[in-house]
Structure 1
């Protein structure tokens, strides 16, 4: 099993990663601000589910294939970027009456969860991160390599979920406040959509 020193070091490093706002955090906050805290938390849960997929891929070696195949990396990268940009354009173009925006969230938690899972799974950079990061804390003398990778991956997912829930609750409360003002509500979808598009473009421009 993983020794205590390695485990504590790993947890501290991961906490630093997950509480520094990145694409996953921005997606969660944007969804919470536009569709409510519940949808934001569902987005964070979807990202966590996607990270479980990446952990599994790292364990079985599929991430290594992505790392060595330029074509496969590009296909996954551009598919993920296109999906994010699609979500962004839809959010920008949606014309929801202001009174409806103030009464109800614009997307269900279930739909937010599905979109977040797909977005995270289609991010090859995350796959490469898990492939490169997790093995740094595996020690052969501590027993099964597969078990150590699994434990490290699950810890990363749980800490990441904790951070996205915290950000979702904060952004959801702010979004509820903003939606009471019609002028802000009118532009909220455009701002959220622009964030999605920006993250999509960033993903498309990522290098291996």
Structure 2
């Protein structure tokens, strides 16, 4: 039902966005480095719950809209491309933030960690636009069942985001320490992720 190119496109976008600066990553890294891996994993559980809320809510509404107004996909494609370009600029500009620029935070109990992860994701404009303006453009109206396509592609994005975030949570302390003493590697990370986002934006805009 879903073309391989759509799957690869969503995987590429998911990788570019999960590794670009944002509230989710900064919160998870901060928790992992200040309170330990267990706190980071619990926080990631809250982030995952937020993804599911967006997945269900966005796709139920978008399925109805796409059926009524197919031309909406064109507007969504342009908006998504512009947003990716904006993320690329934020990453590449002088003084741009790194996902490993951590902050010291006080320890919190598991329930609060989970709820803070949930709210961080729900209030993250990057994730809202991801589900409203980027993933939907990979839906093919000619293949039918846009709801199932949207949920499947969103599920792929969640899987990529959680795997990458879990890997970073488990290694956050070592990675943050290494990058803080090797600024050239930190610049390379920003340059790579920013360039990837820019390429994805241009590809989506002219496809």
Change (3 A) 1:99 1:19: closer
Partner of 2:194: 193
Q: Superposition pairs for residues 139-154 of structure 1, below 5 Å?
A: 152-154=145-147
Aligned residues: 163
Following the alignment from structure 1 to structure 2, what is the Cα–Cα distance between the partners of residues 131 and 119? 19
- Give runs of ≥4 in structure 1 deviating > 6 Å: 102-105
- Note the residue ranges of structure 2 that are not aligned, 5 or more in a row: 29-40, 106-116
- The change in CA–CA distance for 1:165 and 1:123 in structure 2 (over 3 A counts) is closer
Partner residue of 2:142?
132
Structure 2 vs 1, CA of residues 102 and 173 (structure 1 numbering), >3 Å: closer, same or farther?
Answer: farther
Alpha-carbon distance in structure 1 between the residues aligned to 2:76 and 2:99: 37
| 2:161 aligned with 1:160 | no
Query: For residues 14-29 of structure 1, what are the structure 2 equivalents within 5 Å?
Result: 14=2, 17=4, 20-22=7-9, 24-29=10-15
Q: 1:62, 1:120 → 2: CA distance? A: 18
How far does residue 44 in structure 1 lie from its aligned partner after superposition? 7.7
| Structure 1: stretches of 5+ with no match in the other structure | 1-12, 68-72, 135-151
Partners of 2:77 and 2:205 within 8 A in 1:
yes
With structure 1 as the length reference, what TM-score do the two structures score?
Answer: 0.57
Q: TM-score, normalised by structure 2?
A: 0.57
Superposition pairs of residues 1-150 of structure 1, within 5 angstroms: 13-14=1-2, 17=4, 20-22=7-9, 24-34=10-20, 35=25, 36=28, 38=44, 41=48, 46=54, 49-59=57-67, 61-63=68-70, 65-66=71-72, 73=74, 76-93=76-93, 94-96=95-97, 100-101=101-102, 108-112=120-124, 114-123=125-134, 126=137, 129-134=139-144
In structure 2, distance between residues paired with 1:190 and 1:111: 26
**Superposition CA RMSD, Å:** 4.0
Q: Could you say which residue in structure 1 is the equivalent of 2:111?
A: none
Q: CA deviation at 1:40?
A: 7.4
| Change over 3 Å in CA distance of 1:44–1:197 after alignment to 2 | farther
Relative to 1, partners in 2 of residues 1:28 and 1:102: Cα closer, same or farther, differing over 3 Å? Answer: farther
Q: Which has the larger radius of gyration?
A: 1
Change (3 A) 1:92 1:170: same
